[in-house]
Structure 1
Amino acid sequence: MLKNYIKIAWRNITKSRFHALVNISGLSVGIAFTLLIGAYVWSELNVNSALKNLNRQYILQSKWKNPNQGLELTTVGPLAKALRETYPHLVANYYRWDGITSNVSKGDKVFREGLQVGDSTMLSMYGFSVLHGNTKTAFDDPFSVVITAEKAIKYFGKTDVTGETLSIENFSGAKHDFMISAVLKSPAKNSVTMLNDNNNNQFYISANNISYFGRNMDWPNFYIVGYIELQKGVSPIELEKPMQHLLKQNAPPGVAENLTPYIVPLNQYYLDANNGLIKKTLFALSGIAFFILLMAIVNFINLSVSKSAARMREIGIRKVLGGVRRQLIVQFLVESVITVLFSTIVAVFLYIATCNLFSNILGKEIPSLNAFPLYFIFIPAILIVLIGFLAGIYPSFVLSSLKAVESLKGKLGAVKDNVLLRKLLIGFQFGTAALVFICAYIITEQMQLFFTKDLGYNKDYIVSAQLPRDWSRPGVDKMETIRSQFAAMPQVSNAALSYEVPDDNNAGQVTLYRIGSDSAHAVSSQQFTTDEYYRSTFNIPMAAGEFFGKEGGLVDATKIVINEKQAKALGWNDPQDAIGKGVVFLGFNGYKAAIAGVTKDFNTGSLQKAIPPVTFVHVKTNTIFRFLSFKLRAGNVRESIAALQQKWSVLLPGTAFDFTFMDDTIKKLYTTEIQLQQASYTAALLALVIVLLGVLGLISLSVQKRIKEIGIRKILGSSVSAIIALFVKEFLSIVLIAGLVVCPLAYILMNSWLNAYVYRVAITGIPFMASLVFIGAVTILIIVARTYKAAMDNPVKSLRTE
């Protein structure tokens, strides 16, 4: 019997090729999109899943009384190690690292790379796979380095490179050969080697060499990433008092009194970081994929019912010859499952064909089919049965309920009772499409704000490149000389030496108070280490005074510059009142400095955060730097970059010219938001296609049912436009009702999303009106195209239709 059902189902599908093609296309697009988003969500949920003993792995985080005093992401240097050594019954293992960038070279190959200087416990603690070398001794030898297979191929063209050497530069400008002791299999995405999107270290050096880079992991240093592994059965709450005790016992008072350390499980850290932005995005994308799939299923239902007339005589004959309703239901369900089977096969091919495209759209790699576990093969099978049943259950029951006599006459009398349900289904499609369009519109407005809002400085034509380090006064003087030679180029209007660019990644915080006050009134602020050309290069307006001094003239490097927010925090509401006043730095042996100028407030990073207090310290006083930033003249940017690169090879031979435009730097701050925007665009397009197919199916059914009515209206003098308007009115009312229902929901969803940003767009009526008008206009075009022929037909022919 089943064989007979399948044979008949196949004949009906091939007989109505166009109908089958539309059904398969709509479903395959919906299923493919759902599979792509599902694969992305699965890959994000599996971040850190490959780590050894994951359920006992934690990262140390910091909560500061004043958020400007330190970073949440890092902790004091020795804390993780001290927890293991002091409380071995609680802590089974630890790992700490300090992230730096430096020039790495092999012969004529020179690149700027991310280095992770950390404890030798990394390999044993997390179970990273080693292709070559010994995991137990990889960090034992001095000046040894562990690299990934990707970097081994980059420098040597092969992976078996243990015993080879790479030259790595330190922050004094010196170079030393590091022997490769092990090569890691490139690890799956995790929060140890890839802490965030801006951090993907693939060179691992023992902390025994940390002094070579002029760094430390001492108690005053609270910019070290720390991890611990708890003993079995130990609860995180048991670490609270030990951590506080170690801080009070060892850390400087200013740190111990203001810092509350806490630990976060690595199995949830990635999703919960940045106020759960990743988790919210995954929920949003999952919701979009679910509704797109649901729209495709609804579309399948409407198209199936709209073709019911073609099957009526078949149904009538079956019933006259003794066919029972149960057999008809099974027949239609089999046809539905077969259609979904073909749709799923097409969807798999679409997945393969568009995997790279979606990776580019989302900005993150979508796993290929061979990346999934073998048991994932059951997911398409379950989808076929489930979607086939859900998509076919309504048409099968509707069509099988037709009376034999009416079926033989080709009448749709039994179907008309369910018009309301089909209108509700198409209304759901309209509502979903409107929701996606409204959300995409508002997300686009917020993204435009990110890139068009006055940031307080001018980012246009600014290029930044990282420098080799020589953090000494002679090193700074050398770089200032090099800076002046770059600034003299005809393609460059200005250049600045600094440790920071406005990318949310500064040297840390400084705490200071006014002379004449006391440390109880100290204010924490972000520290920017720059030269006197930084302000003019980034075009930061001054509120009062000068930016260290006149460019090209005598500059007092012992002075500082603050922004308006810092001036107000220190008690000067009028920026002019701060000029010439003295402040005392907490720590730094009570270093005192006078204020040379006050800048206007400017955004130092993402618009998720309010503008913080900022203190500018001159690079000749605080001799650290990372960037040369160039303000290019308007014109041929490509030629300007080529000229910079050529000049770089002359002034800084043997170093990599890795440059980044400020626009691209800012984009990195909004990686997740850009992913959501691109996904919403794709979803909006798919939603529009699916809803239009749904309209096509329902309007076809409506025209078919009312063909006699159309003939009578024409005989009675109705015009073609009036007949078309009759159908347009029916569908526009559905669009209007769907819009009224979905608009409040869209407002609630987008207002909740926008609340994560300190600087956000106001939600106006424009996105709602524009989305509904657009969907309504496209719907009208479809209706006109479908009803025009029926309205133009000879009314006599229409009246003869039975």
Structure 2
Amino acid sequence: MVKNYFKIAWRYIIKHRFYSLVNIIGLSTGIAFILLIAAYVWGEWQVNKHLKEADRQYILQSKWKNANEGFELATLGPLAKALKENYPNLVANYYRYDGITTNVSKGDKSFREGLQVGDSTLLNMYGFTLLQGNAQTALNDPFTIVITADKAFKYFGKTDVVGQTLTIENFSGSKHDFLITGVMRNPSKNSVTALTNNYPNELFVSDANLTFFGRDMSWQNPFIAGYIELQKGITPKDLEKPIAQLLKQHAPPQFVADLTPYLVSLQDYYFAANNRLVQKMVYALSAIALFILLMAVINFINMAVSRSTARMREIGIRKVLGGLKKQLIIQFLVESIIIVFFATAVAFILYAASKNLFSNIVSKDIPSLADFPLYFIVFPIVFVFILGFVAGIYPAFVLSSLKSVESLKGKLSAVKENVLLRKSLTAFQFATAIIAFTGAIIISQQIHLFLSNNLGYDKEYVVSAQVPRDWSQAGVDKMITVRNEFASMPMVQSVALSYEIPDGNNIGQSYMYKQGGDSATAVPMQVLVSDENYSSVYKIPLQAGAFFDGNKLDSGKIIMNETAARTFGFKNPSDAIGQQIRSAGDQTVYVVKGITNDFHFGSMQQKVAPIVLFNVQFAQVYRYFSFKIKPGNINTAIYALQQKWASLMPGAPFEYTFMDDTLAKLYKSEIQLKKASYTATVLALIIVLLGVLGLISLSIQKRTKEIGIRKVLGSSVAAIVALFIKEFLWVIIIGGVVACPLAYMLMHNWLQGYAYRINITAMPFIIAIVLLGFITALLICLQTIKAALTNPVKSLRTE
């Protein structure tokens, strides 16, 4: 009996291969997309899950009264260690690190690398495996280093490199050999070796090297990443009073008043970081995938319902011959499950073929099928049966309930094409496609705002590269000489030496107040350090006064943006010129030399912060050269810069980035969402049009005689085509009416996450509806014209 079910189902599928193919293509597209999204979500869910004692690992975060005072990601240097030493009954272990970038070289290989200068507890606390070396002692001594397997291959071409050395440069320009004491197995993605997605670290040195790098982990330093492992049974709430007590005893008064450290579980941190951006991305993509799959299932149901009248006589004959209702239900469900099985098989092929493409879209490595645990094989099997049952249940129960006599006549008022059901389902599909299309347009408009020329500075033809560091007067003088050499090149318009480029990462904050005022009234300012060319490279307009002029007498002068001037109470920018400003805890009196326009130094998620620029001649810290290249042959200009760099700074890597790429990195998640939304839009259109293709084909097949009669009575081809278009026109309009308010609400809520955002206009909605309607009409025309041109004599003979 079971064999017969499959045999009959297979024969039916082969006999009606066009409709079966439409169903399989639609379903496989939806299933492949949900497999890709599921793989992406699974990969994101695994972050931090492989750490040792993952359920007891926490990161210390900072909540500041003023968001400009410090970084949420970091905390006071000694806090994690002090918690372990003073409260061992609460804290089992700790790890802290200071993240830096510097030049690392081996022979003629030289690169800028991210390093973690941290506690020796790293390897044992998190269970990172060493391929070579002793995890107990690898990070105990000064001038020793642990590297990942990838870095070992990068510098040596092999992993057996314990006992070899790498040369590392500090910020005074000195170099020292570091002995490799361990090679770490490449860790799975986690928030310890990569606190943020943009800054992964693969080289680890002991905190015994802090002095070599000129760094510290003091109570005055609020920029240290701190982690702790809680004892069993201890909760974050148990540490609230101990943390407050330690701050009261050791931290500067300003920090005690404004800072509230708190704990975030590493199991939650990855999703919670950056205003829960990853979690929002996961939810958005999951919802899109489910809707795409639902659209594909609706196509399947629509096709089955539309073909119901064609199978009435088959059902009547089977019932007359003794077929039971149960057997008919099983038969229809078997057909449905077989189609879903083939669609799933095709989906796996599509998954393998599109995995790399989708990885590029979401900028994440999507695992291959072999990477999943073996027990995952259960999910597609269950999926096939559930989806096959859900997709086939309606036609199975409706068609199996038909009375034998009415079935043999081929007429039944209960089935009457189920026009309302089909059109409702189709309207849902159109609504989903319109929402996806509209969302993609609005996301694109917002990202265009991020990358537009409305940033307060000019990003065009700007290239940045990190330079070797010697943070002394001699080092600054040398870099200025080198800068001038670059500026003399014919293809270079201007060159600036600075600590920051506009990517949101600045040296920190300084509490500042007016001279003569009380230091208790000091307000936090974002500090930037630059030379006199910074404003000309980035074309930052001045509101009042002047920018630095390269004179060392400028070392006691500062530049502020409009927001900073308003924060100090100056109503007009010109009122601030010549005013004296103090920094809390510093006896220096600074004079305001100029006021710039506000410009977006970081993400548009936050409002422009008050910014103060110090002269590099005074602050004597720097990281970047920013080159303003003259328009023309960019490749030739970059090559010339590379050659000049090698001659002026031999041994220093020239690793450059265009400002457009820097901004793309800053808005990485938004760009991922944009790409994913366009992918979803394309898939939604494919599934909708496949559904329209199938339904129109069935409709033409059933109305062939009607078309012949209309032609005999004088109807034109255009009138017949319009008849079929009108059938779907109202469906699109209804779908648009439903979709527009939903799309508006969804995108309005998404835009609320940005301090600077576009205004939602009617244009995206009009474009989505009109374009979808045009494509649908074009598809209908292509199918109906052929039927309308057929000889009416043949049409009238159709039964």
Cα gap change, 1:163 to 1:739, in 2 (>3 Å): same
Deviations 1:152-191 (A, max 9, x none): 0111111111111111111111111111111111111111
Looking at structure 1, the residues matched to 284 and 646 of structure 2 have their Cα atoms a distance apart, in angstroms, of: 47
- For each residue in 1:372-396, what CA deviation from the matched residue of structure 2 results, as whole angstroms up to 9, or x when unmatched? 1111111111111111111111222
Alpha-carbon distance in structure 2 between the residues aligned to 1:486 and 1:409: 90
Q: Given the alignment of the two structures, is residue 753 of structure 1 paired with residue 750 of structure 2, yes or no?
A: yes
Kindly indicate whether residue 714 of structure 2 is the aligned counterpart of residue 717 of structure 1: yes
**For residue 619 of structure 2, what is the aligned residue in structure 1?**
622
Q: Which structure 2 residues correspond to residues 377-526 of structure 1 after superposition, within 5 A?
A: 377-405=377-405, 407-408=407-408, 415-526=415-526
Q: What's the offset of the Cα at 1:120?
A: 0.6
AA aligned opposite 1:497? L
CA offsets, 1:625-662, max 9 Å, x none? Answer: 10011000100101100000000100010111111111
Superposition deviation, residue 714 in structure 1: 3.0
Pair 1:581-2:564 in alignment: no
**1:160 alignment counterpart:** 160
Query: Is 1:698 matched with 2:689?
Result: no
> Can you give the 5+ residue segments of structure 1 that lack an aligned partner in the other structure?
none
Task: Find 2:594's aligned residue among 584, 597, 600.
Answer: 597
Q: Distance in 2 between matches of 1:638 and 1:124?
A: 47
Instruction: Kindly indicate whether the alpha-carbon contact (under 8 Å) linking 1:548 and 1:555 is maintained by their aligned counterparts in 2.
Output: no
Is the counterpart of residue 733 in structure 1 residue 733 in structure 2? Answer: no
Q: Which amino acid is 1:161 matched to?
A: V
Q: Which amino acid aligns with 2:753?
A: A
Q: Does 1:788 align with 2:785?
A: yes
Deviation track 1:754-796 (CA, whole Å, cap 9, x = no partner) reads: 0000110111111111111111111111222222233333444
Contact 1:306–1:700 (8 Å) recurs in 2: no
Q: Is the 8 A contact 2:305 2:417 kept in 1?
A: no
Deviation at 1:676, TM superposition (A): 0.7
Letter in 1 for 2:538: F
- Equivalent position amino acid for 1:558 in 2: G
CA distance in 2, matches of 1:197, 1:234: 29
Does 2:762 match 1:762?
no
Residue 508 of structure 1 and its aligned partner are, at CA, apart by 0.1
The answer for the alignment partner of 1:562 in structure 2 is 560
Q: CA deviation at 1:520?
A: 2.8
Task: Give 1:717 deviation, angstroms.
Answer: 3.0
Contact 2:305 2:422 in 1 (8 A): no
SS in 1 for 2:625: strand
Q: What amino acid maps onto 1:697 in structure 2?
A: G
Q: What letter corresponds to residue 559 of structure 1 in structure 2?
A: K
The answer to whether the 8 Å contact 2:22/2:694 transfers is no
The percentage of counterpart residues that share the same residue type is 61
1:53 Cα shift?
1.1
TM-score between both structures, scaled by the size of structure 2: 0.98
Offset at 1:599?
0.9
Structure 2 CA distance, aligned partners of 1:667 and 1:325?
60
Cα distance, 1:356 vs. partner?
Answer: 0.5
> Could you state the TM-score of these two structures normalised by the residue count of structure 1?
0.97
Instruction: Describe the SS at the equivalent of 2:774.
Output: helix
Q: 1:636 aligns with which of 633, 637, 645?
A: 633
Shift of 1:18: 2.4
Aligned-residue Cα RMSD (Å) equals 1.6
In the aligned structure 2, how far is the partner of 1:258 from the partner of 1:548? Answer: 33
Q: Could you say which residue in structure 1 is the equivalent of 2:105?
A: 105
Which stretch shifts more, 208-217 or 447-456? 447-456
Q: Which residue of 2 aligns with 1:659?
A: 656
Q: Report what 2:119 is aligned to.
A: 119
**One-letter amino acid matched to 1:623:** Q
SS in 1 for 2:471: coil
**CA pair 18-701 structure 1, distance change in 2 beyond 3 A:** closer
C-alpha deviation, 1:20, in angstroms: 2.2
The Cα of 1:17 is off from its aligned counterpart by 2.6
Deviation, 1:12, is 2.1
Contact 1:309 1:410 in 2 (8 A): yes
Matched, 1:772 2:769: yes
Residue 579 of structure 1 deviates from its aligned partner by: 1.1
Mapped partners of 1:709, 1:20: distance in 2 = 26
Residue 219 of structure 2 aligns with which residue? 219
- Matched residue type, 2:35: L
| Partners of 1:125 and 1:733 in 2: CA distance | 63
CA distance in 2: counterparts of 1:657 and 1:311, whole angstroms: 72
Distance 2:785 2:315 in 1: 30
SS state of the match for residue 415, structure 2? helix
CA distance in 1, matches of 2:733, 2:754: 32
Decide whether the 8 Å contact of 2:494 with 2:533 is kept in 1: yes
1:93-145 deviation per Cα after TM superposition (whole angstroms, max 9, x unaligned) = 11000000111111111111000000011111111121111110111232110
What does 1:678-697 align with in structure 2 at a 5 Å threshold? 678-697=675-694
C-alpha distance in 2 between matches for 1:179 and 1:779: 67
Tell me the alpha carbon deviations over residues 303-338 of structure 1, each in whole angstroms, 9 at most, x when there is no partner. Answer: 233444654443333222111222122111111111
**What one-letter code is carried by the residue in structure 2 that aligns with 1:668?**
K
Paired with 1:396 and 1:763, the residues of 2 have a C-alpha distance of 45
Q: Distance in 1 between matches of 2:411 and 2:163?
A: 84
Task: Within 5 Å, give how 1:184-583 maps onto structure 2.
Answer: 184-308=184-308, 311-405=311-405, 407-408=407-408, 415-549=415-549, 555-583=553-581
Query: In the alignment, which residue of structure 2 is the partner of 1:19?
Result: 19
Describe the superposition over 1:201-258 as per-residue Cα deviations: whole angstroms up to 9, x where unpaired.
0000000111110000001011100011111111111111111111111111122221
For 2:453 and 2:237, locate their aligned partners in 1 and report how far apart those are by CA, in whole Å.
43
* Cα distance in 1 for residues equivalent to 2:370 and 2:697: 42
| Counterpart Cα distance in 1 of 2:632 and 2:552 | 33
Quote how far apart the aligned CAs of 1:414 are. Answer: 5.2
SS of the equivalent of 1:724 reads helix
2-structure distance, mates of 1:195, 1:451: 25
Would the aligned equivalents of 2:453 and 2:459 in 1 still touch at CA under 8 Å? no
- Any idea what SS the aligned residue of 2:600 has? coil
Verify: 1:40 aligned to 2:40, yes or no: yes
Amino acid at match of 2:592: I
**Aligned partner letter, 2:88:** P
Q: Is the 8 A contact 1:32 1:350 kept in 2?
A: yes
With 712-721 and 222-231 compared, the bigger mean Cα shift is at 712-721
Q: CA deviation at 1:75?
A: 0.4
What is the letter of the counterpart of residue 749 of structure 1? Answer: L
Distance 1:325-1:704 versus aligned 2 partners, 3 A rule: farther
**Partner amino acid, structure 1, of 2:559:** V
Letter in 2 for 1:67: A
Partner of 1:136: 136
For residue 503 of structure 1, report the CA deviation from its aligned partner.
0.4
Please tell me the residue identity of whatever aligns with 1:450. Answer: F
CA contact (8 A) 2:429 2:688 kept: yes
Q: Deviations over 1:290-309 (max 9, x none)?
A: 00001111111222334446
- My pick for the range that moved more, 153-162 or 554-563, is 554-563
| Structure 2 residue matching 1:506: 3-state secondary structure | coil
| Structure 1: distance between partners of 2:55 and 2:784 | 62
Quote how far apart the aligned CAs of 1:409 are. 5.5
